Amino acid sequence: MMPASPDRIPWRRPMAPRSRDERHRASTPLECLFDLCFVVAVSRAGISIEEQIGQGHPGAGVLSYAMIFFAIWWAWMNFTWFASAYDNDDVPYRISVLVQIAGSLVLAAGVTPAFDPEHRDFTVLVIGYVVMRLATVSNWLRAARSDPERRMTALRYAGGIVVVQVGWVARLWLPESWGLGSFVLLALLEMAVPAWAERTAVTPYHPSHIAERYGLFTVIVLGESVTAVVVALEAGIHETDHKAAMIGVATAGILILFSMWWVYFDKSAHDALNNLNSSLLWGYGHYLIFASIAAVGAGLNIAVEYDRHEIHISGWASGLAVTVPVTLYLVVVWALHLRHRHTPVASMAFPVVAVLVLASTFFGAPIHITAVLMIILVAITVTTSRGRSPVVGPTIPSVRR
């Protein structure tokens, strides 16, 4: 019998922990496919909040968006951290990822019914979410068998996830008046599971790999928001009534998105992952980063529709659709991994620019003012970074509890 090819994917092998010191650890093609499929749900959420604001329901739209985006982000985050610690790339693992991808598509199909202000039907969304989470449970049970040192950690993850999923399903039958309160409770329980499980033994996530995975998803969500720029540019090229306004929105939009990319990647983030508490804070904080990026894309679409007189909302509402998520993005990025890594001038520039961006809502052309402020912020970070050694490669810090 001929020996198996070393390049052949194994049918099954132990789900042993990956090394934190593994060199050249990078995102796999399967992880990239997972991200690209997941961003469909992000896109659907952005479209839905855009429609709600355009119809004059900003409060209900923002609340639904925050709830639905939590499900998207939390399922993505749990897959990412598990894969960093235990991805063994055998056939059962790949099938579990396929199940999670299928669940993400079901979740995406449930976004629009969940946004419906009259019915708020979360059934399809919960089905997709629970499918993804239970696929993760199967992987944690495999890890419990293959990693005796962290067996209790893996079992806590599996048990905690199952209990909370029962809660999400039960929530579908609760009275509507309990909707928000039950959601907040279950979301807090979801976020408590990793903090509880990791106290027994920290899973061997790879700090640089995690930083790269979050960075790649940030780029993908930014790319999704570029669609609004394309819509504005097409209108500017093909229409005569709003040509100047559309080209102006397109220009401002691409400058805002490019500036958001610049400030996020101005500093390497892997050193924020050197202990459990800072890792949880950094990882959880990205809920606001991802949600604000996607919301900026929706806000740019609203600006296009407002300038074309396709929606009937106030100029302030149109401006807030862009300035609020940009402000939130700047504050959270600054707080998570830029606050202590710049000169005092550059560090303070972030909250100052955030306040000015929000204030620009009440002046003319807030989108264009926001674009100018973002470019100024980038210029400050570039100027204050001169003379310092660039980051030539990540170092792998030890992960402490």
Checking if the pLDDT of 201 tops 80, the result is: yes
Domain contains 155: yes
Checking if the pLDDT of 401 tops 50, the result is: no
- The predicted model gives 237-242 an average pLDDT of 68
- Are residues 165 and 81 located together in one domain of the fold? yes
- Are residues 269 and 235 located together in one domain of the fold? yes
pLDDT reported for residue 237: 72
Q: The domain spanning residue 278 has which CATH number?
A: 1.20.1410
Render pLDDT for 35-56 as a digit per residue (tens, 0 to 9). Answer: 999 888 998 888 888 888 888 8
Calculate what percentage of the chain has a pLDDT beyond 90: 50
- Are residues 167 and 65 located together in one domain of the fold? yes
Domain contains 8: no
- The predicted model gives 8-25 an average pLDDT of 80
Render pLDDT for 52-80 as a digit per residue (tens, 0 to 9). Answer: 888 888 888 899 899 999 999 999 999 99
Checking if the pLDDT of 400 tops 50, the result is: no
pLDDT band of residue 268 (cuts 50, 70, 90) is: confident
- Are residues 189 and 213 located together in one domain of the fold? no
- Are residues 239 and 304 located together in one domain of the fold? yes
- Are residues 259 and 379 located together in one domain of the fold? yes
- Are residues 255 and 362 located together in one domain of the fold? yes
Checking if the pLDDT of 149 tops 90, the result is: yes
pLDDT band of residue 1 (cuts 50, 70, 90) is: very low
Domain contains 51: yes
Checking if the pLDDT of 344 tops 90, the result is: no
pLDDT reported for residue 396: 36
CA distances, 341 to each of 96, 269, 329, 336, 400 (Å): 39, 10, 17, 10, 21
For 2: left if phi > 0, alpha if psi spans -120 to 50, otherwise beta; the answer is beta
Domain contains 188: yes
pLDDT band of residue 9 (cuts 50, 70, 90) is: low
Distance of CA 176 to the CA centre of its chain: 28
- Are residues 186 and 213 located together in one domain of the fold? no
End residue of a domain, out of 148, 176, 197: 197
- Are residues 168 and 119 located together in one domain of the fold? yes
pLDDT band of residue 8 (cuts 50, 70, 90) is: low
- Are residues 35 and 75 located together in one domain of the fold? yes
Domain contains 95: yes
pLDDT reported for residue 96: 95
Domain count, the chain: 2
- Are residues 183 and 233 located together in one domain of the fold? no
Query: Please, where are the H alpha helices in 179-275?
Result: 179-197, 207-238, 243-264
End residue of a domain, out of 154, 171, 197: 197
pTM: 0.88
End residue of a domain, out of 197, 231, 266: 197
Domain contains 41: yes
Render pLDDT for 174-195 as a digit per residue (tens, 0 to 9). Answer: 888 888 899 999 999 999 999 9
- The predicted model gives 21-36 an average pLDDT of 89
Checking if the pLDDT of 214 tops 60, the result is: yes
Burial of 78: CB neighbours in 10 Å, binned 0-12, 13-18, 19+: buried
Domain contains 2: no
Bridge partners of 400, per DSSP, are 275
Checking if the pLDDT of 339 tops 70, the result is: no
- Are residues 252 and 177 located together in one domain of the fold? no
Which is higher by pLDDT, 134 or 21? 134
- Return d(Cα 325, Cα 293) in angstroms, integer: 7
Residue range of the domain that includes 341: 207-385
Return the closest-CA partner of residue 322 out of 98, 46, 115, 30. Answer: 46
pLDDT reported for residue 121: 84
- Return d(Cα 178, Cα 82) in angstroms, integer: 32
Render pLDDT for 312-333 as a digit per residue (tens, 0 to 9). Answer: 888 888 899 999 999 999 999 9
Domain contains 367: yes
- Return d(Cα 71, Cα 12) in angstroms, integer: 30
pLDDT reported for residue 105: 94
